[in-house]
Structure 1
């Protein structure tokens, strides 16, 4: 996946709060009852991790910690 495609996906998923226009969004779940809705920038960061990570577990853990600190 290219960076251009990641941006296109983010632009689509965050183009509207109307479910007739954007039928779903992506959130992360970190346990049975906890998780976060992703912002536009967080979505792009997550897709970049999925595209480029050499150590997915570590990178996803760090991402989860970062977005938890921002909220």
Structure 2
């Protein structure tokens, strides 16, 4: 199945901004995060098709997964 993965801010470094990727059906958000070697502790928010999703969420054909890092500052 194909999904679209979007990285934001610092997660783009050494990766990409947007890419359509091929995955096995039933893959979880956590498995995509692991595929790109993103430490879970650095994730700020995960959005799938415009809605908040947990790492345990399952992805479906055509989903758009956006991965945002934690943001600091003041």
Q: TM-score, normalised by structure 1?
A: 0.24
Higher Cα radius of gyration: 1
Question: Which structure's residues are more often helix, by fraction?
Answer: 1
Q: TM-score, normalised by structure 2?
A: 0.23
Greater length-normalized contact order (CA 8 Å, ≥ 6 residues apart): 2
